[in-house]
Amino acid sequence: MDSLTQACLGAAIGGTVLGRRLGRKAVIAGAVLGTLPDLDVVIDYGDAVAEYTYHRGFSHSLWVLGTLAVLLTGLARAGERWRQVSPPIGTWRWGLLFGGCLLTHPMLDAFTTYGTQLWWPMTTPPVSWHSIFIIDPLFTLPLLVGVVAALIKGYSPRLLGWGLTLACFYLTFAVAAQNTVNERIGPSLANQGLEDAPRLVQPTPFNTLLWRVTVVQDDAYYEGVVSLFDGHTPMALTRLPRGGEWQDAALATKAGQRLEWFAGPFLRYRTEERQGATQLVATDLRLGSPGYHMFNFTLAERTADGWSPVQSELLAGPRPDGDAFAALFQRLIAPQANACLPITERQAQCIPPQVMP
């Protein structure tokens, strides 16, 4: 999630656990602890793919953060004994402060699509449950209200408690909505021969009512959107080329292997003329919105002897404008699951419901 949300979550936990004893200091300490794991962004990993895939790595590991919480709890208790604080806050409450603020950060991140390496240094793929968009005001606002009230009043247990409760309720709703959409699209995918293909169901930007469906199969991928208000209307998909003919060349590079580990099958490949040469580019299909993918990486350059790896660079992709967001909003309030997305790419192919690709 974004830094404001993580700070608010940590602040709300800090204020709830120790606000009665420490007042605003508990809220501020919680905010700092809640944003601490994201300091890995200041590390230079050498190239664009490394920067992209090592983020949310060791600093988001439950093993690392759990150990850090234990160490900080021990230091806090030692400080209390040295200063002879009476009555002491105690190991239990210090542990709730440090453990709660630090460990909820990667757990919340895992509910987004980006990918969080909860079990680092184990080499298992990043965890991503795709249940909430990386920025969602409806999740953040209840926390923010409680935190602001606590900073003004010094301690506001009721608003902090309500903020945490509403945020948890909203996250629970998001998971339930995702499961509902996943069940509804099953028949539509089966009718189009895609029931066993890798699929990704995630919310569209800033809400949990309109969901984006991405399905990958061989040389193509499919995009669709489903609103909770669609009912059981059959879903239409837009078919787009995936560039599977370039996959072997991409996976022959270290950066390409790293991307495949990070994003799984949800990658698109293409060639592009840049700087007087033909370069191989990989796109992460998970992030962005249909037709607008922001993370594109150069992997290799064509030479007389074939493909030669290059230091990866991030290429800016098209960003959705106001019309694109307006179209998504219109799609949200006007159920039309049997209509294809307005993707203008030349090779986009609309597949209406019940029609085999």
Q: How many CB atoms lie within 10 A of CB 341?
A: 21
Q: For residue 336, what pLDDT is reported?
A: 64
Report the chain (357 residues): mean pLDDT per 10 consecutive residues. 97 96 95 96 93 96 98 96 89 96 98 96 95 96 96 90 97 98 92 92 93 92 90 86 94 96 95 90 90 91 92 84 71 69 74 62
Burial classification of residue 271, based on how many CB atoms lie within 10 Å of its CB (0-12 exposed, 13-18 middle, 19 or more buried): middle
Q: For residue 357, what pLDDT is reported?
A: 45
State how beta strands 220-227 and 306-309 pair. Answer: unpaired
106 preceded by cis ω (within 30°)? Answer: no
Distances (CA, A) of 244 to 97, 216, 269, 281, 282: 48, 11, 7, 12, 11
- Strand-pair partners of 350: 238
- Computed on alpha carbons and rounded to an integer, the radius of gyration of the chain in Å comes to 23
Residue 340 and residue 235: Cα distance in Å, rounded?
Answer: 9
- Strand-pair partners of 349: 239
Q: For residue 356, what pLDDT is reported?
A: 39
Measured torsion, CA atoms of residues 287, 288, 291, 297, in degrees rounded to the nearest 10: -60
**Residue ranges of the alpha helices (H) in the chain?**
3-22, 24-35, 48-54, 62-83, 91-110, 137-153, 157-191, 247-251, 254-263, 322-333
Q: For residue 337, what pLDDT is reported?
A: 59
Length of the chain: 357
Structure tokens belonging to residue 255:
């950066």
- Sequence spans of domains, the chain: 3-174, 196-351
Q: Which bin fits 84, alpha (ψ -120 to 50), beta or left (φ > 0)? A: left
Q: For residue 347, what pLDDT is reported?
A: 78
Main-chain dihedrals φ then ψ at residue 303, nearest 5 degrees:
-125, 180
Main-chain dihedrals φ then ψ at residue 344, nearest 5 degrees:
-90, 0
Q: For residue 354, what pLDDT is reported?
A: 64
- pTM for this model (two decimals): 0.92
